[in-house]
Structure 1
Amino acid sequence: MQTIEDYLHQYELADLFPPAVIEAMHIEHHAAGSRLFSQGDAAEHLYLLVKGKLKISMLSPEGKRLILAFKTPFDLVGDIEYVQKCPFINTVEAVTELVLLRIPHHALDHEMSGNSLFQQFLLETITRKFVTKAQELNFNLLYAVDVRVASYLLSMTPDKSRLESPSLVDMADLIGTSYRHLNRVLQKFEQAGWIQRNNGKIDLLDRDALFNQAGHNIYE
Structure 2
Amino acid sequence: MQWIADQDKIRTLAGHNGLMEIFSSGAISGMELRRYSDGEAICSVGDRLEHMFILVEGRLKIHTLLPNGKSLLVRFARPMSVIGDVELLRQYPVKNEVVSMGESLLLAAGRALVLKEFEENTALLRFLVGELSHKMYTLGQTTALNLLYPLENRFASYLLSLFADSGGQRVEEIRTSTLAETADLLGTSYRHLNRIVRRFVEEGIVERKKGSLSVLDQNKLVQLANGNLYE
Counterpart-to-counterpart distance in 2, 1:155 and 1:39: 24
2:117 to 112, 131, 156: 112
- Identify unmatched segments of 5+ residues in structure 1: none
Cα shift at 1:6? 2.8
| Equivalences for residues 28-107 of structure 1 within 5 A | 28-107=34-113
Counterpart-to-counterpart distance in 2, 1:199 and 1:39: 35
Structure 1 position 161 matched with structure 2 position 167: no
Counterpart-to-counterpart distance in 1, 2:24 and 2:190: 50
Which amino acid in the other structure matches residue 29 of structure 2? E
Q: TM-score, normalised by structure 1?
A: 0.85
**Structure 1 pair 101/200, CA: closer, same or farther in 2 (3 Å)?**
same
Q: Which residue of 2 aligns with 1:21?
A: 27
Cα shift at 1:135? 1.4
| Paired residue total | 219
Residue pair 2:162, 2:171 contacting (<8 A) in 1 also: no
2:138 to 132, 138, 142: 132
Q: TM-score, normalised by structure 2?
A: 0.82
**3-state SS, counterpart of residue 20 of structure 2:** coil
1:18-62 deviations in Å (ceiling 9; x for gaps): 344222212222334433222223312111112222211101112
**Structure 1 pair 145/45, CA: closer, same or farther in 2 (3 Å)?**
same
Q: Which residue of 2 aligns with 1:217?
A: 228
Counterpart-to-counterpart distance in 1, 2:144 and 2:134: 16
Cα shift at 1:96? 4.1
**Structure 1 pair 156/15, CA: closer, same or farther in 2 (3 Å)?**
closer
Cα shift at 1:68? 1.0
RMSD: 2.5
**3-state SS, counterpart of residue 69 of structure 2:** coil
Moved more, 145-154 or 114-123: 114-123
- Identify unmatched segments of 5+ residues in structure 2: 1-5
Percent identity over the alignment is 34
Cα shift at 1:5? 2.3
Residue pair 1:156, 1:163 contacting (<8 A) in 2 also: no
**3-state SS, counterpart of residue 140 of structure 1:** helix
